């Protein structure tokens, strides 16, 4: 796949109060090295219009998402494993637990799709069953 890509991130949180879906499409940079895939892209905060820099490292068994900017977080997804990290926002910090129930990676010459399914805890309280669908395609010139 090319270095310059179009990135679509679709997030779904399912709670007893209802489902919430967020979708972002932006441009990014994609690399492969030593069997790992790397994706870098920026997103703009809804309330602040400040930039959050995202970097994602992808393997078949592990996905690491790093956010830096108005939000700071290191989120790790490893199937059948609960990993805990700190999620920093302008409003304060919270402990975030991610128990990954599924990682599905579909890679073709000009397309990559990653689906993460997980249970999300905030401060040791289950808040949602969640999914992230990440799609990467070559950027059209």
Q: Is the dihedral of CA 57, 63, 21, 17 positive or negative?
A: negative
pLDDT over 80 at 2, yes or no:
no
Domain of residue 10 covers: 4-138
Dump pLDDT digits (tens) for 54-93: 999 999 899 999 999 988 999 999 999 999 999 998 889 9
pLDDT at residue 97, rounded to an integer: 95
Average pLDDT over residues 99-103: 96
Q: How far apart are CA 47 and CA 119, in angstroms?
A: 26
pLDDT at residue 46, rounded to an integer: 65
Dump pLDDT digits (tens) for 11-45: 999 988 888 999 999 999 999 999 899 999 998 86
CATH label of the domain that carries residue 119: 2.40.128.20
Query: What is the tally of structural domains in the chain?
Result: 1
């Amino acid at each position: 796949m090319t270095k310059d890509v179009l990135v679509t991130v679709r997030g779904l949180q399912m709670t007893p109060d209802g489902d919430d879906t967020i979708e972002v499409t932006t441009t990014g940079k994609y690399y492969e090295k030593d069997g790992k895939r790397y994706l870098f892209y920026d997103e703009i905060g809804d309330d602040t219009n400040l930039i959050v820099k995202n970097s994602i490292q992808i393997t078949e068994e592990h996905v690491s998402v790093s956010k830096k900017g108005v939000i700071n977080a290191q989120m790790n997804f490893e199937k059948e494993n609960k990993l805990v990290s700190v999620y920093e926002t302008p409003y304060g910090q919270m402990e975030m637990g991610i128990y990954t129930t599924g990682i599905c990676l579909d890679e073709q010459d000009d397309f990559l799709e990653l689906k993460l399914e997980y249970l999300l805890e905030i401060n040791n309280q289950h808040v949602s069953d969640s999914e992230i669908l990440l799609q990467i395609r070559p950027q059209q010139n």
